[in-house]
Amino acid sequence: MSPDRSQTAYAASAADLAVRALDALRGIGGTAMVAEHVEHAEDPKAALAAIRVVGADTLAPYLLANAVLHPQDAAAVTQSFALFPPPVSTPDPPPAGAAEPWLVAWRDWAMAALLARLTGAEAGGTLAPRPTGAPVLTDDDSHRSDTDWQRWSVRMGQLSPLALPGLEGPVHTAARAAPLALARGATRAVLRRDFPTAARITRWLALLGAEGVHLPLDPAPLLEHLRLHGGGPRLALDVAIARRLLGLETA
């Protein structure tokens, strides 16, 4: 398979898995949706890669909809880590290290940590080590990575799979310290018609709202706007997760 065809297959498989996760979040579909995604795929490798692309949000139905994680689903997630193993050591956070490997490491950790929680394996460790650091928000003009609220909020949006209950770390601490920057970032993304970014940032506002943090804006109308706008299964999954966090959507 050529690189272009491979990327297309991976993207299509990730979209299919997002649809399955969205259905499961709404109480639709079978009891082993991750395993079925792999078993029914024309390209099992692409299907396993899709699990890592969708990441921790693959497990959102089991956290937010009172569904029980099927052993076959747990095995499929574990298999995805075996086929695409994360680095043994975690990359340095920006600006000392490159941003993308660090973001991937955080997203891998989130999925591995939730899998351990759902399977009762916390004491045995996870399939991915936890990185260090969090996006840095300051008011200076040093132009370091993530220093102003625009870049910081986008970076937080890239870490939106961490915006789920059951996870805790420096990224969550950073989010709780700056709800105004998150609100400004989400609003800016909507005005720029960058709806995927808006949905990802709003995930953090929804999580903070669920925790009782005072927010500078009500995320519910924003989520309704994003829901009505549409934009593909990944955006729809982000919106559904945020709505579920706020108690706006039930199975």
Predicted structure pTM score: 0.92
Give, for all 251 residues of the chain, the pLDDT tens digit. Answer: 444 557 788 899 999 999 999 999 988 877 789 999 999 999 999 999 999 999 999 999 999 987 789 999 999 999 999 999 998 899 999 989 999 999 999 999 999 999 999 998 764 567 999 999 999 998 755 556 668 999 999 999 999 999 999 999 999 999 999 999 999 999 999 999 999 999 999 999 999 999 999 999 999 999 999 999 878 999 999 999 999 999 987 65
Extents of the domains making up the chain: 1-133, 137-251
Task: Give the containing element (helix H, strand E) for 175.
Answer: helix 170-177
| Calpha distance 209→202 (Å, rounded) | 10
Residue 115 corresponds to which amino acid? L
**Contacts by 111-115, CB closer than 8 A, 24 or more apart:** 111/52, 111/55, 111/56, 111/58, 111/59, 111/77, 111/161, 112/81, 113/166, 113/167, 114/56, 114/59, 114/63, 114/164, 114/166, 114/167, 115/59, 115/74, 115/77, 115/78
Give the DSSP per-residue string, 193-219. Answer: T-HHHHHHHHHHHHHHHHTT---SS-H
Q: Nearest Cα to 186, choosing from 177, 176, 196?
A: 196
Task: Give the containing element (helix H, strand E) for 6.
Answer: helix 3-25
| Calpha distance 171→160 (Å, rounded) | 10
CA 169 from chain centre, in angstroms, equals 15
Non-local CB neighbours of 247 within 8 Å, separated by 6+ positions: 210
Non-local CB neighbours of 131 within 8 Å, separated by 6+ positions: 90, 91, 93, 102, 105, 106, 109
